[in-house]
Structures are given as C-alpha cells and as structure tokens.
Structure 1
Amino acid sequence: MINYILKHTNLPEKGIKNTIELLKEDCTVPFISRYRKERTGNLDEVQIGQIVTFKTQFEALEKRKKAILKALEEQEVVTSELVQKVNNAPDLTTLEDIYLPYKKSKKTKAEAARNKGLEPLAKIIMAQNATDLEFTVSKYVNNLVENEEDALEGARHIIAEWVNERSDIRNQIRYQLEKFAQITTKVISTKKNDEKAQKFRDYFDWSESLGRCPSHRLLAILRAENEGFIRVKIEVDAERALSKIEDRIIKSNNVCSIQISIAIKDAYKRLLYPSLSNERLKLAKEKADESAILVFSKNLKQLLLGSPLGEKRILAIDPGFRTGCKMVCLSAQGDLEHNETIYPHAPQNDSSGAIKKISSLADAYKIEAIAIGNGTASRETEQLVKRVHFKNEIEVFVVSEAGASIYSASKIAREEFPNYDVTVRGAVSIGRRLADPLAELVKIDAKSIGVGQYQHDVDQTKLQNSLDTVVESCVNFVGVNINTASTSLLSYVSGIGPKLAENIVTYRNENGPFKSRIAIKKVPRLGGKAFEQGAAFLRIKNAKNPLDDSAIHPESYAIAEKMAKDKGVAIENLIGDKKELDAINLSKYISDSVGLLTLKDIIKELEKPGLDIREKAKVFTFNQNIKSITDLREGQLLPGIVNNITNFGCFVDVGIKESGLIHVSNLADTFVKDVNEHVSLQQQIIVKVLEVDVPRKRIQLALHN
C-alpha cells in the first residue's frame, strides 16, 4: 500500500506510513492534520486526503485481484505465471485485460465456433504457413459445419476473439483513442424544434477532440444525449487503427493473411472499438466529474466559510408579492421569538402598514440587523426597509436563499419547528444564515445549495463523499460551540457523527449547558476515542478553564499550564499577552510526543483563543436604478456579488432576477488557469456590462479592476 501511494504522490514515505497507522486507529483527517503534525511530518488536510484516496483505490484493486484469483481457481486454469501477472497488475484496467480471456460468455460467436471443433483451424490460419488452406478447411466440414465458408467464418470468429483479448492491441487502440478521438454530435431531427432542446442547440451538430473537450461542455453534451435531444459518437481513424493491429499480427502475404485481415476488421468493428470507445468516453466523463466536483467543493467551502454577523438579534424577511413577506424575529442565539406576514407589494400594496410593523418589531425585539432573502421581491423589499426610520442604527443585508426551501421542507426543519409551516422555517433559515452561514448551511443537502455546475450529472457517490469532506473540514476548521450547536452541526465534528450528536443535544437539554470539556465525557456512549478526536473542536464559552474555549487539545493543557507556571502567572493572565508568549523558549518543552510544530500551535492559540477566523459580514448595496434586465446597457459599471463559480467563468448577482456571466476570458488580461485565483464566492466586485441578450435572458460581463 505504501509503495502504491508513493507512486501516485510526491509525499514522504514516513508521513504516508504514519498517516496510514493513524487512519487504522480510527483517527479522522481533521484530527490528524491538526494534532498529529509530528507524526505526519506536518502534512495538511489535502495531502492526508490524497493518502485516503489512494489507500481506498489500493484496497479496491486488492479486493478485485482476490476475486479474480478465486474465479480462476474455480475454472482450474491457475498457473504461477498467471498468479504473478494478476498480483503485479498496477491498475484495474490492466487487471481486467488479464482476466478477459477467462471471462467468456457461452453465447459468443467464438465459443459457438469452438463447440463446432474449429479452434485447430483457427490456430493453423494464425500460424500463417498453410500451403493448401482450401484442402485443410475441407477437413472441417461435417454435420455441424455446412461448408468451407462456414468453417472459415467460425475460425475467423475465434481469431477475432484472440485479437480482442491481446492487451498490447487493446493498449494500442486505447492510445489511438486517447490521442485522436473526436466527439461528434447530431441532433435527433424530431426534437430539433423542441423548446427544452434549445438550450443545447450549440451541440446539434458539433465535433471536437474528446481529449480537449472541457468538462462543462462534455457534461452538457452528455446531458443533452440523456434527455434524448442528440446522438453522441466517439470517432477515430479506423484505417490507421486497423493498420496498427495488422502490423502486430500479419507476418505473411498469403491466403491465411487474407483471412486474418478479415478477422481483424471484425474484431475491431464488433469487439475492440465498441468496448474501448465506451471505456474512453467513461474515462473522459470521470475526468469531467472530478473537475466539476472540485469546482463544487471549492464553492461550497467558500460559502460555508462565508462571513458571519455573529450573535445579533435579527429580523429576517422572506420576501414575496401575492403571498406577502414572511417576517421572523430571532434572538442572538437564533431562537424564534415572533413571526408574522406583511403585504407591502402588489396586489395588496400595504406599504405604510408594513413600514409601521417593521418599525414596531425592531423596537419590541431590540433588532440589531435585518436579513432579506434574495429571491422574488427582494429588491422591492430592500427598498421598503430602507424607508423605515429606526430609533437605532440597523444594518440591512441581502442573504442568499439558495436551498432555504429545501431546508424548510426537510425532516430537520420539521423537528426544529413542528408547529410552524414552511414559510416560517424558510425565513428563520435566512436569518440564521446571516448570523452564521456554516451553522445553518450544514442542515441542507449540499447539492441543493446551487453553487456548482452539472452537479446532478456527476457520479453522485463521489460528489457526496467530496462534499461531506468539505463540510467536515470547514466545521472543524472553525470549531463548534457545544452549548448552542444543532445536531446537524455537531454531527460533522471529528469523531462525533450523527448518533453521538443526538446524545450530546439530549444530554444538554436534560442537564443544562456543559461547564467544561471534561464534562463532555458524561454523554452516553461518548468514549475515550470520540473524546480524543472531537474535544479540541468543541468550544465552551465562559468556561472555568479558559483553554476550554480554545483549539488547544486537552492532552496539551499540561504544557500550556506549565508555560504559565514557569512565567509565574495564572493561565488566564498569559492568554493574550503576546509579548510574554513570544518570549517563551519552546525548546525546553519539547518531548518524545510533543514537537516544535505542536508547541507553535499552542502559542498561536494562546494569543487569541476561541477567535472566529472568518471575516465579519459586510453590508452591500446594489445599483438602485437597475430593477430588471431591460435596465442594463452596454458599458455600465455595476456593483455585484459573485454567486457561482464554474470552470468557464463566474456568475454575478447585479440585483436582478438573472445573474450575469463573466466568461473566463473576461476575468483578466492574461490567461486564467483557475477562476478561483481571481474571484471568490460571495465576493463584492465591480463589473462592466459587455452584452445584454434580453430574449435569451443572458448577460455578458467583465471584471472591472
């Protein structure tokens, strides 16, 4: 396993070996990267994630090898040479090629020919030295073989199978497909004018190199095919491919070589090309999936680590026209204190009543900030709120609603608010997102947050695993207040999981807030391992021991306390004293189990324990004169917020229903390799309007520097 991982990464052998040992001890990736730096050689989460990926791949390969060896034993065809080949196979493709000759179906044309006794004839032809093939063939005519042509056809089917099973030939065709394959599309004539097909019209008659086809285009083409609008083909120069095969097999120029040439054409058309072109498309799709999943994961991470407003009393509004605007008042801890509906917009148009109600609720519940969902009627509601004269200064924020409707109808929302309908739950979610995006967004299926490309077309298992990893990483990076966190948030803490998260919340409800980290051990079924993995990521505000609200692991408390003792001060007096902390000689605290990396982390945390590393939320204002796509003009400069990032550019909310696209070519004057290097999700930017296509509702923008 270590050799396999070494071959696929540039990581140090010792770090790989120790990481595998830690994984076998049921340690989590966040725990290993944060608290076992000495053992891993300071590998970060990404590098440890690579080790996990290739460890899983290796285990899958080994499992398949065992299954194949068992199948070969059952067929009684095992030889030491074959066992060695199987055991030395470096990947699944090579392994399946080795197994291919033994994986026969009884219904193949070659098997039918063998049953007629034609394999010896096939061997004679392949030897290419028969002097009188016509006479030789006549010997194989019997009650099962009607005539000489029947015999030759059967022999060719066997030869075609041999050609198909040769790994060198398969690899040659793979090379041809990898280097020269074209993906071509044709519209299905009966669907050409279908309204739903129009978004794929660029691919009604398309052709390009499969190897150069960008991930987003390939996924779009495959979606169009799945929806029945186009046909997709993978094409390669068949003549060149056939000549490469013939060069490897045909060594003569006689009647035998003619038969072999016919068999090769059959093998290529019937067996090799269909199988290997599908394999090539599958590999291209897997690569496109990986690219799309990476984009989604980066976006999700940026969204989850979005700026929180913090513990503030919030009035949240889920805006609407006919159905009104649902309003909720939330405490600083996010508890629902009041809800009601106002109707300031058409058809009711009760704006004066709405203004009075917002003003009175702001006074009654001592509101410090207002969160407005960015969906239907958002701009109109924002303008209404700005007409309200508040007694105190109240900041107004527009908050992304993506996925709020999914949350409001979910089991989690029903359990949180069993006595309220979906509209109230949705408004609560909008308000809580402003206070802490991470704590609220973990309750929603990440695929529903809408920050990716073609997320429903990619491998769903790989997508889910990747997104779960991102959420786990973000939650543990920020840390969790154990006395206010929901079950959903706690379930992502290292070593905790859904069941223990439920137990923590139940214990908290029955016994009151946790006073110390050590008290966490009283939670039913939370054993030593779970405590070791999770304790440092769980924070306790205003605890007796100030280290309980830090990222310092309880196993290192003694070191921090010794530092304070050596300085002659209490630990609470050492915390935040940068001058004293900088003066500590760390080398005197190094031991067999604790190295300089851990000691530096302890000092860094003592400087600002429990600090939220995220930036605070900032108010943003759109151009108030832009209310719809028809208000846009080429050359305008507008403020906007990046609301999605893809491989081909980013989408920007400029305050109207339609988001504009900054194509990758309009992000910078130089070549853009990674969109994330130029913009980030929720970033506030200035854009220039390049083109407005009102009928197609498309807006082309450029990043204005």
Structure 2
Amino acid sequence: MTPLLNYIVSHTKLPEVSIKNTVELLNEDCTIPFISRYRKERTGNLDEVQIGDIVKFKEQFETLEKRKAAILKALEEQDALTSELKQKIEATQDLTTLEDLYLPFKKSRKTKAETARQNGLEPLAKIIMSQNVNDVESVAYKYVKGEIKSVEDALEGARHIISEWINELTDIRNNIRQQLERFAMISTKVVKAKADDENAQKFRDYFEWEEALSRIPSHRLLAILRAESEGFIKVKIEIDDEKALTKIEDRIMRSNNDCTEQIQIAIQDAYKRLLLPSLSNEALQNAKTKADEAAISVFAKNLKQLLLGSPLGEKRVLAIDPGFRTGCKVVCLDAQGGLLYNETIYPHPPKSDTIGAMKKISSLTEAYQIEAIAIGNGTASRETEAVIRKIHFKNDIQVFVVSEAGASIYSASKIARDEFPNYDVTVRGSVSIGRRLQDPLAELVKIDAKSIGVGQYQHDVDQTKLKKELDVVVESCVNAVGVNLNTASTSLLSYVSGIGPKLAENIVAYRDENGAFTSRNEVKKVPRLGGKAFEQGAAFLRIKEAKNPLDDSAVHPESYAIVEKMAKDLGKHVTDLIGNKDQLQNIDLKKYCTETVGLPTLQDIINELEKPGLDIREQAKVFTFNQNIKTINDLREGQLLPGIVNNITNFGCFVDVGIKESGLIHVSNLSDSFVKDVNEHVSLHQQVIVKVLDVDVPRKRIQLKLHK
C-alpha cells in the first residue's frame, strides 16, 4: 500500500481498492458528482460524502508531504539533517509533530537564547544542565567578558538557553498540550473603557465568562473571539500552572545542588514566556478550527436545503420588492424569468395610493397572464401582502412571500449589471425575488453563498475553508438537479461538473449566436469544450423536447448504446421504454453487464428511464402567516403561530413568524428528549407551528417552542 493510500485508509476506514480507484479518477480530473454518479463500479458505490472525505485526506497528505520536503531541504542546507532525524520526519503523520521536530532548527536571530549563544554562554548552560556543579557562581565568573558585565548576566543568559532547550523538548510540549486539551479554561474580561459602547452590548453575556475550552459550543467560542477582535473583551486560556511546572521539574531535575535554583528559574521562564503562550494559543486555534468546522458544517447543511428549496417551476410571475417611502418595485416575468415589464407603486404611507396600486396589480396580472405573485420578505412585506390579498383576481393566483436574503448583493453585482445593463438595482432586486420563486437554485447560485444568510458567524470562520465547502455544496446541488442547457445562466452552468466559468461563458455565447441546442452532442461544438469536459458534464445538461429523449435525462451519453440495445432486444424504440415501468422492470440487467458497466449503473439507468428528468425537489407551497401579528408588540406568551424555519444553528433554529424579528427555538425547546442534531428535528424553509415562550421587546428577542 502506498503512503497516500495508507494515510487515507487510516482516516476513513474505506476499502483500499475503492480509495485507490477514486484517487486515480481524481487524478484524471474527474469531479465528485461525476465519480459518485457514473463510476460506481470503480469506487465500490461510494457516495459524494465518502468521495469528499477521500479528497480532503488526499489534500491533507499532499500538504504534509510538501511541508516535509521543505523542512528536509532546510535542514540539509543547515547541515543539520541526521539519518535519525530524517527517519523521524518521514514517519510523521501530522503537522504538529512535524513542526515540533523542526522547532530547534528554525530559531529567529532575535531570541534571548540566541543572543546568549553569541555571547559565548552555551557551554555554561550545558554545565548547569549537567547538574554536577556545586559552585555555579565561580563557574559563571569565567564567562564575564565582552557584553557580559556580571555573574548574574552570565547566569541569566545561560538560563535563557536552558529555557529554549526545555521549550523544544517534544515530550514536555505534548504533556502541556494534553493538559490544555483536557483541563484548559477559557475566561473573558470586559475592556472597561468600552463596556458602555452600544456595539458592545450584544456581547454583554461575555463581559465576564469562564468555561472549559474542551466543552465550549462552537457558536459561543466564535462570538467570544469576535468580541475580542472588536476590542470589547480580553480572552485568556489557563491551566493549573503548579501542576504543569511540577511535571516539567519531574522531567528535568535529577539532583539537588547549586544548579537546582538556576534550572528552576529557567523552567519557570520556559513555561511562562515560551511554552504556555505558544501552546495555549495553539489550543485556542485548535478549538477555533473545530468551531469553524462545526459552523461551516451547519452553513453547508443550511445552504443545501436552501438551494434545493421548492421551485414553483416555469410559471409567469409578478414580483414585488416592498417599500414604504420609496414605493414597491414591481416586475412581470415570463415563465423563463425574462423581464417583461417594471413599474413602481405606492400603496403605503406617505403616498398611501392603495386603490391605485391594487388596480395596477390587477391590470398587470391580466395583461401578462400572471400565475403567481412573489413578495419580498423585507421592509413593508406584511403590509404589501395584506394589500395584495384584498385584490379579487379573475384567475386563481397564488401569493408567496420570498426570502430577500442576498438580493441586494446580487442586484449590485457584475452578474446583475451584465444581465440588466439598462435597469437600476431596485428593478434587478425585484427580478431576483421573482426568479427565486420560479427556481431558487438557478437564482441563488448567482450570489456569494456566504451572503445568503443561513449560517452562524460565517464571516468569522476560515474563509478559504468556507468557500471551498460551500462551492462543493453548490456543485453537488446543481448536478443533483441538472440544468436546462438552453435557459441556464452562466452562473448556473459554471457549477456543472467539468464546465467551470470560462466554458460556461462559451456555452452561453454559442447559444446566443446559434440559437438553442438541439442535442447534447452539439455541445462539443462550443469553443474549447473538449472530450474531458463533455464526459464530465454532458449527463448533467438537459435539453427539453430534444429529438433524442435521453438528452432530457440523467442517462450519460456513454450509456445511450446500452439503452438502445435494451429497446432493440424488446423490439421497441427508446421512446417506448420511457415511463414504461412494467416493461423496464422485466429487463434482465445481467445481460447488459460489461467489464466497466455493472448492476449499479444499469439500475440507475432503469430508475431514470422510469421518470426521466424528474426534479428531486418538492414544488413550492403557499404559506400564510397569522394576519393579526404585524410587529413584535403583537406577540404574547402562550400564542401558537405558524412560521417558517429561516436559519439553523448548532444551538437551535430561527423561525420567521411574519414580523421583522425572527424568533429562536433553542435546542432545549425543539423536543422533550435530548437533541443531538437540530437538523434531525427541523429543516430550512419547513413550515411549523410554534408556541411563544418569552418576548423581550427592548432586546428584540423572541423565545419559541416547537409545537408538535
């Protein structure tokens, strides 16, 4: 087994052959969605999560190996690489141990120990560490020369060198690490000068706080670190200093003589100046890394649920971005999201032209044959919804309240300017609200995922890791649903397996110049879209009403011949098989197995032929809030209210009950039993009934309980 395979196997416990074949596919530039869907035989039917783990540990191993190579090169250049040290470095399986091995060789020239060495005090340090001298001062006197003006100077310099040696001892470092891992306390103190700052008040729970670092929830740690970064509190990591020092003394001290006091002083110095600051910071960073991972995981789950939210589908929509003084921006969209008309109405104060607004909406719904109305959930949303519901439409028109999160980001973006160069941000924002109702996935991919607002402390976590994880989620969702090749935006196409931003632009440019694609094969004519990109992406591209019905399915073009053979063997055409469950279930799949195509792929083909192009998402449903609840002042303890889950965190979920402030269902109020994972009890955009437990109007906080 190669070192890479051994590393991944040890971390994932997946079968070696599955890992080996997956790594080969990754090295061939295959994507996770493609591998999990169309290479099941090679991977042993691994899912996207398992393949994602292989990718993660493959990258970790490559980072580790790269760092090893850099360290070995540096040690060779210093002429400090022994065969024993080289063996230790090559055998190391984690970065922390690796950096500990390298620590003695990467000294800064400005350390106190290095200054002492330059003053010729290393021999004195070695004498003291031998612990065999009874008159240290007389020995130290021999080193009083040059920059060293006194015996105390000599002893202090020697102690600095000893402190550094102690700091570099791996077993001592690991012992303190273990103590920090098990017993460290994180405490906070308010910065008195900023205690009354208005912005500090949201952190007032942490003005004086203490908790075990190993048990602090991710959201609390991230909140504390944000408060510290904004200068409102000071954070300290502490362990039992006496216990830690005793452990070091037990490791270092071998006798009781004139050297003892000097070594004890050096131990104190090593611990307080070098070991504790460095390792407590490392412990805090490790805790922050875990908190980041937890927060990113929550964000990723939320984002997936949001992206796979229920689409209304290709329906003609009138969308409204509500407002009071500036009016409500209204747009009419065709079934594909194209802008047909825009106008501003003023149903609310100060103009209060409610009658005129109602007449205008009524006439627009008739003129553009509107099938649904989308109202943004921001300022004046409830008031606008109330106006719309007073209108007696001639046809049955559904009214939806749609999340505006991130719409302002989109409306000011280059993507929006390119789509609507002749319209201002208000019109673009309204279009985005309407399109979100038609197809949330297609519209939300245009917005930087972390701006959608469905996570916790997303701006405080490692931004590189966050972007990477969210990109994986978006790619997974886009490919799980598939995209309409003839209507998809550049943003949506860029997430299709094997495509990317540049090829997405080329596809749209080719479509604009040559008209709609009539077959998947035609995609090969797009400039710079080669065989590899076609292999990776073709099956995720759909063509509605194509000549070949398989072009509107998840069947990969490489498997068309198999479907054609199945049809021929039955004396049928391919079109006769589609949707014909009885016929499909009677096919003997073993007849069509080859060296590369096995039963998992064949069963996927049958499932797809039964319901080709089936959208995995549920259709959008109308939801109505309690019309009597318009502000936080209307809430009363004990009320039962309909609501929509609009954010999920590790400590609970937030619910929109139709007012500006969302209410919190704390984990303790989600169920009568212990809640391990919030996502097991609620999902994003789920319609729920909640009970009001407490309303704190001054702090604008609402406590809710999930009503079963």
TM-score bracket for the superposition, by shorter chain length: over 0.9
Q: Does 2:114 correspond to 1:136? A: no
* d(CA) in 1 for partners of 2:437, 2:173: 56
TM-score, normalised on structure 1? Answer: 0.99
* d(CA) in 1 for partners of 2:692, 2:250: 58
Provide the residue aligned with 2:405 in structure 1.
402
State which drifts further: 249-258 or 611-620: 249-258
SS at match of 2:310: coil
Provide the residue aligned with 2:37 in structure 1.
34
1:106 maps to which of 101, 105, 109: 109
* d(CA) in 1 for partners of 2:401, 2:324: 17
2:464 aligned partner, one-letter code:
T
2:273 maps to which of 270, 273, 277: 270
* d(CA) in 2 for partners of 1:159, 1:687: 64
Q: How far did 1:588 drift?
A: 0.9
Provide the residue aligned with 2:598 in structure 1.
595
Provide the residue aligned with 2:305 in structure 1.
302
* d(CA) in 2 for partners of 1:137, 1:427: 81
Percentage of identical aligned residues: 78
1:73 maps to which of 51, 71, 76: 76
* d(CA) in 2 for partners of 1:482, 1:548: 10
* d(CA) in 2 for partners of 1:688, 1:445: 34
Provide the residue aligned with 1:11 in structure 2.
14
* d(CA) in 1 for partners of 2:623, 2:110: 68
Q: Does 2:546 correspond to 1:543? A: yes
1:43 maps to which of 46, 58, 63: 46
Q: How far did 1:141 drift?
A: 2.6
* d(CA) in 2 for partners of 1:633, 1:222: 35
* d(CA) in 2 for partners of 1:328, 1:135: 92
Provide the residue aligned with 2:366 in structure 1.
363
Provide the residue aligned with 1:420 in structure 2.
423
How many corresponding residue pairs?
Answer: 705
* d(CA) in 1 for partners of 2:94, 2:373: 56
1:79 aligned partner, one-letter code:
T
Provide the residue aligned with 1:446 in structure 2.
449
Q: How far did 1:144 drift?
A: 3.8
Give CA deviations for 1:62-98 in whole Å, capped at 9, x if unaligned. 1111111111111111211111111111111111100
SS at match of 1:211: coil
2:682 aligned partner, one-letter code:
V
Provide the residue aligned with 1:354 in structure 2.
357
Q: How far did 1:146 drift?
A: 2.2
Give CA deviations for 1:460-496 in whole Å, capped at 9, x if unaligned. 1111111111000000000000000000000000000
Q: Does 2:257 correspond to 1:248? A: no
Q: Does 2:155 correspond to 1:164? A: no
* d(CA) in 1 for partners of 2:438, 2:112: 68
Provide the residue aligned with 1:25 in structure 2.
28
SS at match of 2:214: helix
Give CA deviations for 1:300-353 in whole Å, capped at 9, x if unaligned. 000000000000010111111111111111001110001111111111111111
* d(CA) in 2 for partners of 1:89, 1:413: 50
Provide the residue aligned with 1:344 in structure 2.
347
Structure 1 stretches of 4+ moved >6 Å: none
Provide the residue aligned with 1:281 in structure 2.
284
Give CA deviations for 1:603-659 in whole Å, capped at 9, x if unaligned. 000000011110000000000110111111111000000000001000000000100
2:470 aligned partner, one-letter code:
L
* d(CA) in 2 for partners of 1:183, 1:467: 30
Given the superposition, is the C-alpha separation of residues 340 and 143 from structure 1 closer, same or farther in structure 2, using an over 3 Å criterion? Answer: closer
2:291 aligned partner, one-letter code:
A
* d(CA) in 2 for partners of 1:447, 1:344: 34
1:211 maps to which of 210, 214, 225: 214
Is the Cα–Cα contact under 8 Å of residues 140 and 151 in structure 2 kept in the other structure? yes
1:676 aligned partner, one-letter code:
N
1:230 maps to which of 229, 233, 257: 233
2:73 aligned partner, one-letter code:
K
SS at match of 2:324: coil
Provide the residue aligned with 1:655 in structure 2.
658
* d(CA) in 2 for partners of 1:43, 1:647: 28
Q: Does 2:450 correspond to 1:470? A: no
Q: How far did 1:123 drift?
A: 1.2
* d(CA) in 2 for partners of 1:230, 1:31: 48
Provide the residue aligned with 1:554 in structure 2.
557
Provide the residue aligned with 2:673 in structure 1.
670
Q: Does 2:686 correspond to 1:683? A: yes
SS at match of 1:212: coil
Q: Does 2:522 correspond to 1:519? A: yes
2:328 maps to which of 325, 328, 333: 325
Is the Cα–Cα contact under 8 Å of residues 134 and 259 in structure 2 kept in the other structure? no
1:699 maps to which of 697, 702, 708: 702
* d(CA) in 2 for partners of 1:242, 1:604: 66
SS at match of 1:136: helix
Give CA deviations for 1:118-142 in whole Å, capped at 9, x if unaligned. 2112112111122443432333233
Provide the residue aligned with 2:149 in structure 1.
146
* d(CA) in 1 for partners of 2:137, 2:659: 80
Q: Does 2:580 correspond to 1:577? A: yes
1:503 maps to which of 480, 502, 506: 506
Is the Cα–Cα contact under 8 Å of residues 564 and 574 in structure 2 kept in the other structure? yes
1:391 maps to which of 394, 400, 413: 394
Provide the residue aligned with 1:60 in structure 2.
63
1:581 aligned partner, one-letter code:
L
* d(CA) in 1 for partners of 2:412, 2:116: 61
* d(CA) in 2 for partners of 1:60, 1:415: 39
TM-score, normalised on structure 2? Answer: 0.99
SS at match of 1:152: helix
Provide the residue aligned with 1:181 in structure 2.
184
Provide the residue aligned with 1:377 in structure 2.
380
Provide the residue aligned with 2:464 in structure 1.
461
Q: How far did 1:148 drift?
A: 2.1
Q: How far did 1:252 drift?
A: 1.1
Q: Where do 5+ consecutive residues of structure 1 fail to align?
A: none
SS at match of 1:354: helix
Is the Cα–Cα contact under 8 Å of residues 116 and 158 in structure 2 kept in the other structure? yes
Q: How far did 1:7 drift?
A: 1.3
SS at match of 1:278: helix
Q: How far did 1:456 drift?
A: 0.6
SS at match of 1:432: helix
Q: How far did 1:11 drift?
A: 1.0
SS at match of 2:393: coil
Q: How far did 1:238 drift?
A: 0.7
State which drifts further: 624-633 or 108-117: 108-117
Provide the residue aligned with 1:492 in structure 2.
495
State which drifts further: 256-265 or 675-684: 256-265
2:318 aligned partner, one-letter code:
L
1:107 aligned partner, one-letter code:
K
* d(CA) in 2 for partners of 1:142, 1:413: 74
